[in-house]
Amino acid sequence: MRQHDTSCSNVWPRVVVVDDDPSVGNALSLLLRIEGLPCRVFGDGETFLETFGPVMPDCLLLDLRMPGLSGLEILRRVRERDRHVPVFVMSGHADISIAVEVMKAGACDFLQKPFAAGEMVERIRAAIASRAGERGRVEGVPQFAEEDRLTARERDVLSQLARGASNKEAGRLLGISPRTIEVHRARIMAKLGARNAADLMRIVFLNGGLQSAADRRQAILTG
């Protein structure tokens, strides 16, 4: 029987823990909540993968040995959806060959239980910060001119809008209000020179998306 997931926050989680041991999940959720990192705990990989679609949290903690999908199998499936989300694989067994296989599969670290709580939190924060610094592209859309003018949050919002999410849906996924989504949408359109939502999608997805906002404004004036 699958275990129900538990949340340590009502907002979109920054960290997800997948571990079939309730004591480990409860301890990690308490620690992460104290450290200001909203999280969600799942007792099995199947439920986690069904719950999270293309939009992953900022970091994953996966137990290696679990009934059903192992941490390694979950990692491989996650990498098919998101190549960049930091994934830590945890195990109570020091197996060098498994650790090597996990790292080759795309884990950013292999943690042997028990581990120092403070050190783990530092590693998670460093991994999240590193990923945020690497987010120079908008996920799910082709490269377009001036995307580097968007903030990290504006890129997240644009990624949701490009998938067809409503303001309410995007807000729920990103842990912010629909009104805040509207504000970000307006700023994105202003920065990219889009006149309406259809124009925004044309800028992002069509060949003309490689034009700068200045070039588009000039074309409008002379067209």
Specify whether the CB–CB gap between 14 and 38 falls below 8 A.
Answer: yes
Cα dihedral across residues 44, 47, 48, 54: positive or negative: positive
User: What's the CA gap between 23 and 181, in Å, rounded?
Assistant: 37
Specify whether the CB–CB gap between 160 and 173 falls below 8 A.
Answer: yes
Q: CA of 149: how far to CAs of 83, 109, 131, 155, 156, in Å? A: 23, 32, 18, 10, 13
pTM of the model: 0.58
What does pLDDT average to over the chain? 79
**By three-state DSSP, how is residue 89 classified?**
strand
Looking at residue 222, what is its pLDDT?
A: 42
pLDDT in tens, 143-195: 665 677 777 778 888 888 887 888 888 888 777 788 888 888 888 888 888 88
Q: What is the four-CA torsion angle of 80, 81, 86, 87, rounded to 10 degrees? A: -60
**Residue 7: pLDDT band with limits 50, 70, 90:** low
